[in-house]
Amino acid sequence: MGKINSSQLAAAAGVLLLAVWPLIFRNQVQFHQVLGMTCLYAILALAWNIYALSGAISLGHTAFFGLGAYASALLNHHYHWSPLCTMPLGALAAVVFAVFWSLGFRRLRGVYLGLASLAAVEIPKTIVDNWDQLTYGSMGIVGLDRLPTLTIGGVEMDFGLNVTAQYYLLLGIMLLALLLHWKCIRSRWGWTLRVIRENETAAAALGIDSNRERAKALMLSSYLAGIAGALYAHIMGLVEPALVFNLHLSVLPLVFSIFGGSTMVFGPVLGALILYPLEQLFLMPLFPMGHSALYGLVIILTIFFFPKGIAAWLPAPPKSV
Partner 1 sequence: MWVGTPVIFTGLSLGSFYALIALGFSLILGIARAFNLAHGEMILLSGYLAFVLWHYFQVPFVFILLICSLVLVWVTIPLNYLLRRLPEPYGLNTLIVTLGLALLLQNLFLAWFSADYRLMTPAWPMVNVPWLNFSFPLHQGVLIVLALLVTGAVHLLLQGTFLGKALRATIQDREAAQMAGINVQRLSLAAFGLGGLLIGLAGPLFAQNMYLYPAAGVEATMIAIVVTIFAGLGRIRNILLGGWLLGLTQSATIFALGSRWRELVSAVLLLLLLYFRPQGFSLKKEG
Partner 2 sequence: MAASAAQVCLELRQNKKFFGDRTILRGISFCLEVGEILGLIGPNGAGKTTLFNIISGWQKPAAGSVIFLGQETNTWPPERLSRAGLARTFQSPQIFPEMCALENVLMGAWLRQEHPPLPEAQEEAAYCLSLVGLMDKGQTPVRELPLPQQRLVELARALATRPRLLLLDEIAAGFSQAALNRLAAGLLKLRDQGLTLLLTDHLFTLLEAVTDRVLALDHGEIIAQGPPADLIRHPEVISAYLGTRYCSNANNGGA
Note the helical H segments in the chain: 6-24, 29-52, 62-79, 83-104, 110-120, 122-130, 132-135, 163-185, 188-198, 200-205, 210-236, 241-244, 247-260, 267-277, 284-286, 293-305
* Three-state secondary-structure class, residue 313: helix
Please give the backbone phi and psi of residue 120, each rounded to the nearest 5 degrees, phi first. Answer: -60, -25
**CB under 8 Å to 148, separation ≥6 — which residues?**
82, 83, 84, 159, 160
Choose among partner 1, partner 2, none what residue 188 binds, the Cβ cut-off being 5 to 8 Å by kind. partner 2
Least Å from the CB of residue 181 to partner 1 = 21
Least Å from the CB of residue 201 to partner 2 = 5
Site for partner 1, rule CB under 8 A: 57, 59, 104-105, 107-112, 114-116, 118-123, 126, 129-130, 247-248, 251, 254-255, 258, 287, 289-293, 295-300, 303-304, 307
> Does residue 3 bind partner 2 (CB under 8 A)?
no
Choose among partner 2, partner 1, none what residue 201 binds, the Cβ cut-off being 5 to 8 Å by kind. partner 2
Choose among partner 2, partner 1, none what residue 254 binds, the Cβ cut-off being 5 to 8 Å by kind. partner 1
Tell me if 170 sits within 8 A of 231, measured CB to CB: yes
Inter-axis angle of helices 163-185 and 267-277, to 10 degrees?
Answer: 150
Tell me if 156 sits within 8 A of 149, measured CB to CB: yes
For the window 173-202, what string marks contact with partner 2 as x by the rule CB under 8 A? ---------------x--xx-xx--xx-xx
Residue 111 or 321: the one with the smaller Cβ distance to partner 2 is 321
> Does residue 56 bind partner 2 (CB under 8 A)?
no
Choose among partner 2, partner 1, none what residue 194 binds, the Cβ cut-off being 5 to 8 Å by kind. partner 2
Least Å from the CB of residue 314 to partner 2 = 17
Choose among partner 1, partner 2, none what residue 110 binds, the Cβ cut-off being 5 to 8 Å by kind. partner 1
Least Å from the CB of residue 320 to partner 1 = 27
Q: Which residues of 259-279 are buried (b: 16+ CB within 10 A; e: fewer)?
A: bbbbbbbbbbbbbbbbbbeeb
- Positions touching partner 2 (CB under 8 A) are 188, 191-192, 194-195, 198-199, 201-210, 321
